[in-house]
Amino acid sequence: MKKAEFLLLLDELMELPQGTLKGPEKLVSLAQWDSLASVGFIALVDRHLGMAVDPGKLAEAATVDDLLALVKEKLQ
């Protein structure tokens, strides 16, 4: 999967207009990023990339780029 495609999935997960997320956005500045979105991210990664996310590393993520780093081996 391409990075741009994954970002669109994140937009959808957080109910943002397509193309909103680019990478450098801070998660704390996104009202849509909450515990439910965090669980949704884990499910999204499992469903679309076939991999598991370490919840500890997810909790350390501060930006959208940090989320992308968690799945970088599956992104083109």
Domain ranges of the chain: 3-18+25-74
- Residue 45 Cα distances to 32, 35, 37, 74, angstroms: 18, 16, 12, 10
Fold for the domain defined by 3-18+25-74: 1.10.1200
Overall average pLDDT of the 6-19 stretch? 97
C-alpha to C-alpha distance for 73 and 10, rounded to whole angstroms: 17
The model's pLDDT over 22-70, given as tens digits with 9 standing for 90+, comes to: 999 999 999 999 999 999 999 999 999 999 999 999 999 999 999 999 9
* Segment 9-17 mean pLDDT: 97
